[in-house]
Amino acid sequence: MRYLHIAEAGFLFTLLLLIPTRFFFIINDDSFKSAFRISYDDFTYLVFVVLAVYLFLRYQKTSNGKFYFLSNVLLIIPLVIIASVVPNILFGQSIRITFWAQRFFMIMIIIYYVYRLLLVEDIITPEYLWDKLYKLSFVHTIIIMFQHAIADHVHILSVRYRHRFGPRITTNYTFSTILLIGSLCLFFSAKTRKEKMTASIGLIMSYYHCVFISQTRIVMVAYGIMTILMALVSRTKVLKKITYLFVLCGLILILLQSELGQYLLTAVSDSSTDTSAQIREIGKQIYIYHLIQSPVVGRGYPHYTSFESYEMAGMNAHINPNDNGIYAFGYFYGALGLLWYVWITIRMLICSYKAVKKGDYRFLLFTLFLQIICVNIIWWYWTTSFCVLFTIMLALMEDYQNKISNPKVRFYI
């Protein structure tokens, strides 16, 4: 059994949950890079590497805890190597540069190791980690809601500002998703009025964030499906389930009468009128075509230093791999990469099923969310904060797989 001083625990908590999100999006990446000659993402990766080395040296394997997803994350290394060699063969693109450009994918190995070791060594408990993560999701979302309210007048946070139906901020998906999942599970399992009220507030905040702040269609679909699923599988009485579903349907009908709702309907029924959908569709066709041409290893990871590589990926024609989800991932890593994703998803579903048998739907909802949005977005691949969330969920799932249960976090002064 390992113990930790309160000061150390607070330090680790800051590293694990605040640094990846730039301390509530206050830190500007460009300003940070100008001051310290390193991008903020690279600084975050460096922190996790140093932390992993520290944990490895201090807490060498002394427990029987298993690393269920270890083989999955370690296979990232050969995927990255292949994706670095292929464009070198095709276009002469530098292997070294391409390999380094994929560091945001490889860092999953380090982050996974950090979280899993913290749980295996009883430095923190899964309950403690989830509790802090859920509470932090309230704080983050409140801050984003405040910034959204004054976005037309002043920009305090270093987030991505757009304009679709009013101001649009597309930065806080990580914590709004945790807020929704945590609030759904708490709402349908609440035993007190305080818990029910907390969950209701969390649901309202997450829905508001999704519909009015991020305004992302695929996320709206995912949130709606997750909510309906929880209403159907919850152990509440049939009458309450029907009431919840009627209320949800009523809210959807009200939304569809708005300008945003009409935009969503138009995008679903006729994508020819939606420029972003058209560009995304062109990108998918490009990626599918090249995946058929090179099905096993794909076309490798494109880099701007190679014009041919960049052009083949459509990036010179404003085709953004970020907006093409699993299709772009298949283009980079071929069938090997897609099989890797299918394999880790199956293992996540196995862990989720075991948790569901105990009445815990958090992991099933998270896995379902990833599958719904992956046709357009795979944030765990592009975004540091969502990568951290992804590895946290993997580490927490393993506590059901390995039947690890700790009632409290253990500190001593």
Q: What is the pLDDT of residue 253?
A: 57
Structure tokens at 279: 């560009």
What's the confidence (pLDDT) of residue 266?
57
Report the pLDDT value the prediction gives residue 117, as an integer from 0 to 100.
Answer: 87
pLDDT < 50 regions, the chain: 1-4, 6, 62-63, 404-413
**0.85 exceeded by pTM:** yes
Q: What is the pLDDT of residue 339?
A: 97
CA separation for the pair 413, 7 (Å, rounded): 9
Check residue 118 and give its pLDDT: 86
The pLDDT value recorded for residue 2 is: 47
> Biggest alpha carbon distance in the chain?
65
CA distances from residue 168 to 37, 155, 384 in whole angstroms, order as listed: 30, 12, 21
Length of the chain as a residue count: 413
Enumerate the domain spans of the chain.
Answer: 6-401
Token digits of residue 372: 């719904």
SS3 content of the chain, % helix, strand, coil (to 5): 75, 0, 25
d(Cα 157, Cα 173) in Å, to the nearest integer? 15
pLDDT on residue 404: 42
Helix extents (H) in 160-258 = 173-187, 193-208, 217-233, 238-256
pLDDT of residue 57: 84
Q: Which pLDDT score is estimated for 362?
A: 94
Which residues on neighbouring strands pair with residue 168, listed in sequence order?
162
Distance, CA of 376 to CA of 362 (rounded, Å): 22
